[in-house]
């Protein structure tokens, strides 16, 4: 990967780190400000969140398998692993959207309390990043289908790999600090 591309992408990832650090900080400050509304312990369905977490973690594993196939210049197996990655990512988003719709239906929308505002901001921003990653994945799969594993496509797939694994690291933070700690009394 050319040094300029690599440096530029790392700078982008670090800027994303700052965005998520600010959102985590806001949640840390506002995460216990319920305004008489429901708490995380009352709202969060940990089995559903654990299932969702497994979808995202499995998507990282399958993306890793795709990168192994890419290194061997095996386009079809790589595309298969990327498609499986996309399915796991889409399943993650579907569960997250279900959770958001359910919370809003129960009257626990982002306007209800500072806790819910910070929750929806943090988790929603992560979900938007996953959505962008899924779109990027489709575009790259189409580019590989049209042009094969040329150097530019390999570079793009590696950048998406870093982005995708970064989202997993952020999600582990969300799962731990928002959901697990949020269910504590």
**Full 3-state SS string of 107-144:** CCCCCCCHHHHHHHHHHHHHHHHHHHHHHHHHHHHHHH
Q: What is the pTM of this model?
A: 0.94
Q: Out of 1.20.120.80, 2.60.40.10, 3.30.1330.30, 3.40.47.10, select the CATH number for domain 3-30+46-182.
A: 1.20.120.80
Residue 1 has a pLDDT of 52
Q: Assess whether pLDDT exceeds 90 at residue 2.
A: no
Q: Assess whether pLDDT exceeds 80 at residue 4.
A: no
- Residue-range domain boundaries for the chain: 3-30+46-182
Residue 7 has a pLDDT of 86
Q: Assess whether pLDDT exceeds 90 at residue 5.
A: no
Cα 97 to Cα 5, 26, 84, 175, distances in angstroms: 33, 22, 20, 16
Say if residues 163 and 59 touch (Cβ distance below 8 Å): no
Q: Residues 64-91: what's their mean pLDDT?
A: 98
- Least Cα distance to 30 among 132, 115, 106 occurs for 115
Q: Residues 42-47: what's their mean pLDDT?
A: 95
Query: What's the whole-number average pLDDT of the chain?
Result: 95
Q: Which pLDDT band, with edges at 50, 70 and 90, does 39 fall under?
A: very high
Residue 183 has a pLDDT of 87
Residue 6 has a pLDDT of 80
Q: Assess whether pLDDT exceeds 90 at residue 185.
A: no
Q: Residues 152-161: what's their mean pLDDT?
A: 96
Q: Residues 27-49: what's their mean pLDDT?
A: 93
Residue 3 has a pLDDT of 64
Take residue 134 and report the two structure tokens written for it: 């899924």
């Amino acid at each position: 990967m050319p040094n300029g591309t690599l440096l530029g992408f790392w700078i982008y990832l670090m800027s994303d780190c700052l965005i998520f650090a600010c959102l985590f900080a806001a949640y840390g400050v506002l995460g216990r400000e319920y305004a008489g509304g429901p708490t995380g312990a009352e709202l969060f369905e940990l089995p559903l969140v654990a299932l969702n977490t497994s979808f995202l973690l499995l998507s990282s594993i399958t993306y890793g398998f795709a990168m192994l196939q890419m290194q061997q210049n095996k386009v079809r197996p790589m595309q298969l692993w990327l498609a499986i990655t996309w399915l796991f990512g889409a399943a993650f988003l579907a569960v997250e959207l279900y959770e958001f719709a359910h919370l809003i239906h129960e009257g626990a929308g982002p306007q209800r309390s500072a806790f819910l505002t910070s929750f929806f901001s943090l988790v929603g921003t992560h979900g938007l990043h996953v959505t962008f990653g899924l779109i990027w994945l489709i575009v790259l799969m189409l580019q590989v289908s049209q042009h094969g594993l040329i150097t530019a496509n390999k570079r793009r797939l590696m950048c998406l790999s870093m982005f995708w694994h970064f989202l997993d690291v952020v999600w582990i933070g969300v799962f731990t600090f928002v959901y697990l700690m949020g269910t504590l009394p």
